[in-house]
Each structure stands twice: as C-alpha cells, then as structure tokens.
Amino acid sequence: TLQQIFGSDSVIVALLSNWTVALFFIITELYSSVSVGILFWKLANDVVTDPAQAKRFYPLFSYMSSFGPIVSGQFAVRYASRA
C-alpha cells in the first residue's frame, strides 16, 4: 500500500488518500484564474471595436495586466498595515 511505500505520515499519502478534495481545490484555483482573464479580454473586446485601435491598445492592456498585481500588492501592503 501507499503507507508502506511512503510512510504513514507522508504528505503524498495524505494527498492521494484524499485525492477528490485535493483535485477540487486545484480546479477551483485554476478556474478563478482563467475566468478572470477571460472576462478581462471580453471587456477589452467590447470596448475596442476597431482593429486599428486594437493594434494600439492590446499591447497596453497586456502590459498593464502584468503590472497591475505589482501595484495592487504595494497598495495592499501600504494600507493594510495601517489597520
């Protein structure tokens, strides 16, 4: 059995014995990340309708989507420490 191979207090044994719960949490984390990205690009497609505008604004959107978490992290650190 797994307990004989890895030992009874192994993390691998705990994950594999409760694989349905572990899979649920992995899928929910992936779903939230993917759905936020899809909703953002859907909004970008609704706002920018002209292909010439899309060529100009989509690189900016892409840059800001990678820069946004840095800014929001610094904002959270600054204002959450005051509470």
Report pLDDT digits (tens) over 17-71.
888 888 898 898 888 778 888 888 898 889 888 989 989 988 888 888 788 788 8
What is the structure's pLDDT at 2?
62
pLDDT band with cut points at 50, 70 and 90 for residue 8: low
The structure tokens listed for 5 are 């191979």
Predicted TM-score (pTM) of the model is: 0.50
